[in-house]
Structures are given as structure tokens and as C-alpha cells.
Amino acid sequence: LEAARDRPNLTIIGQATVDKVLFDGRKAIGVLAIVAGQVRKFEAPLVIVSAGAIHSPVILQRSGIGPAALLKRKDIEVLADLPVGEGFFDHPYCRIELKLKPGFKATDLDARHTNCCVRMSSGVPGAERDDILYVAMNHGGIGVESDSAQFGEAMVNLILMEAKSRGTVQLRSANPFDQPLVEENMLDDPMDLQRMRIAYRHLGEIARQAPIQAIAERVLLGDSDLPLSWLETASDEEVDNFLLAQSSDAQHGIGGCCMGRPGEAVVDPECRVYGLEGLRVIDASIMPLDCQANTNLTSIMIGEKMADSLRRST
């Protein structure tokens, strides 16, 4: 952004919350926003919604674009009955926590945050290759012991790629300051849970190896007080229940304004919202499938591709 800040055709407005897209009939003509507490209208021949997988869906829903039943329950007039907010998902992850020994704790800002990433295949029939990612990280801060109760902690994350489970993003009300209701529905698909269990048991085997034992005073499972040895005797059902309680998201949320065929999706291959004019969604929310990686680069390429397409069409 800094490189583009001084461009004459760019205006950056802070303290702004977009309420909804404005329409003349079925053509988008601008947006309504609250800027520093004041309601303002911004008009434009083309409106691009790029608020991410959490907020792009609810901006559309507040604008009357989304599942008709949901909008009617929120007393919002339906402009386009589309599956907005559906197909949302994130990469599930669960971790093993390392309480590091003196001499192995991060002590300055130059210490690496992410130290190692390793891919593995779960081997489950029907699963993609390299569907498991292990990430070793420092995450307990820097400095001295008294600075933080978490000082000196590290972890090895297990992140599931190609997750099959899907969730939803829905507006709570027509108030733009009400945070969305996000139901990730994580590990709902039996294959997701099976692959996580296999990979977490394998992670336990890794953590029992001498190099990790040499740097860690203690090794715990996730946010629990369970020792590493618990994994050796726990049943599959017990591990599944542990994963359902301990797993979180990798903050790689995508979907909710998915690209696809007419009648099944929200946007077409040019990111245009079906059934409307002058409105596009360009961000991670258009992704209907997992990119089997951190979603950052894919999101950047979506923006670059569409920027090039828009330049060529204007």
C-alpha cells in the first residue's frame, strides 16, 4: 500500500465501515459507509467488495444479496437469492506445546518465528497427497522469564490441508457493527477427523524423538495438561474427542462468496456477482476449493489477476 499511497487515482479513507452496496435497480452504483461516526455515500461505476472471507459475505447480505430465507429473517429485502456465506472453511490445526529449556528460548527480535515446515501425506484413501503440514514455531514472546507466563514456549502445529468440512458466515443483524456469526463446522467430515487423528499420533511420535526431548523441559498436548505419553494409550475415540475440543483455525479463512457455475455459486470466473451489474467480489472469499497452502499468495494472485483483467477492460 505504501508504494501506491500517493497515486492521484487512489483515495484511502480510515475509520470507515462499509454498511452496504447501493443499487439503482440491479446495477451497483456505490456504497453506504460510516466514516468516523458519520454516514457517507460513495458513488462509483464499478463496486469491488474486498473485505475478506469473514466480512465480504455479510456486506453482500446486508445489501440484499444472499440466501432469501436468511435475509427475510433479518428483515432485509431480497435483491438476489444467492448462496452468499456458504462454503466457508479454514485449515484446522492442533498443536503440541514445548516448554523449552534455558538456552533454547527466543531472547531477541531476530529469533525466527517459523523455523521449519514439513509436508506429509495421511495415506487415507481418497485424500490428496501432502494433505498434512507440520510447522515448528516460537510463540511465547521474547525477553526474560518475568515478562510473560508464556515466555519460552514453542510449538509444533499440525495443519490439515484439503479439508472437506464446510461452514457458513451469516450476518447477526442489519447493523454493520454487529460482528458476523461464523460457524466453521470444523472436522465435521469423518475423513477430516480421521486424517487429523493419524497426523496427530504421528506428531506425538515426532515429539518423542531425542532432538525435541533435548530442548524441551516438558511436552504437552495443545492447551491441555495432558502429557505426551497420553497419546500412546488413548483410544481413537478419545483422540477424536481431544481434537474436537482442542483444534482451532489457522486463520486461513476462504469461501463464502464462491466462484462457480450459475445457480450454484456467487461469482463468475471474472468475479462478477451473478444476476447483478457493476459489482464484483475480489478476495479469498471467492475460493471454492483449498489451495493446499497458506492462502496469502493465492489471495494476492487473485487480486493481481483481476487488476490486470480490469485494466484491459477499461
> CB–CB of 120/134 below 8 Å?
yes
Nearest to 168 by CA among 182, 178, 187, 179: 182
Whether 2-88+253-313 and 91-164+184-249 share one fold: the answer is no
Q: How far is CA 127 from CA 6, 18, 50, 68, 123, in A?
A: 48, 40, 32, 35, 7
The average confidence (pLDDT) of the chain is 93
The per-residue pLDDT for 126 is: 94
Q: Which pLDDT band holds residue 141 (cuts at 50, 70, 90)? A: low
> CB–CB of 50/283 below 8 Å?
yes
Q: How far apart are CA 97 and CA 154, in angstroms?
A: 6
Give CA angle at 306 (300, 308), nearest 5°: 105
Per-residue model confidence as pLDDT tens digits over 209-267? 999 999 999 999 999 999 999 999 999 999 999 999 999 999 999 999 999 999 999 99
| Exposure on the CB side of residue 300, measured as CA atoms within 13 A | 4
Q: At what angle do helices 236-246 and 190-207 cross, to 10 degrees?
A: 100
For the residues 92-97, what does the mean pLDDT come to? 95
The per-residue pLDDT for 307 is: 96
> CB–CB of 231/259 below 8 Å?
no
The per-residue pLDDT for 235 is: 98
Q: Tell me, rounded to whole angstroms, the distance of Cα 8 from its chain centroid.
A: 33
| Best CATH choice for the domain 2-88+253-313 from the list 3.50.50.60, 3.10.110.10, 3.40.50.970, 3.40.190.10 | 3.50.50.60
The 3-state DSSP class for residue 184 equals coil
Catalytic choice (55, 91, 113, 252)? 252
**Residue 301: φ, ψ to 5°:** -70, -30
The per-residue pLDDT for 150 is: 54
The per-residue pLDDT for 142 is: 55
pTM here is 0.91
For the residues 115-144, what does the mean pLDDT come to? 86
For the residues 202-212, what does the mean pLDDT come to? 95
The 3-state DSSP class for residue 46 equals coil
The per-residue pLDDT for 292 is: 87
Is 252 catalytic? The answer is: yes
What DSSP string runs through 216-258?
EEEEEETTS--BTTHHHH--HHHHHHHHHHH-EE-S--B-SS-
Topology of 91-164+184-249 in CATH? Cholesterol Oxidase; domain 2 (3.30.410)
Which helix (H) or strand (E) segment holds residue 40: the answer is strand 38-43
Per-residue model confidence as pLDDT tens digits over 44-78? 999 999 999 999 999 999 999 999 999 999 999 99
Q: Which pLDDT band holds residue 146 (cuts at 50, 70, 90)? A: very low
The per-residue pLDDT for 127 is: 94
What DSSP string runs through 254-309?
B-SS-B-STTT-SB-TT-BBTT-BSEEE-SGGG--S--SS-HHHHHHHHHHHHHHH
For the residues 81-89, what does the mean pLDDT come to? 98
- Going from N- to C-terminal start, the domains of the chain cover 2-88+253-313, 91-164+184-249
The answer for residues whose C-beta is within 8 angstroms of residue 314's C-beta and 6 or more apart is: none
For the residues 162-191, what does the mean pLDDT come to? 97
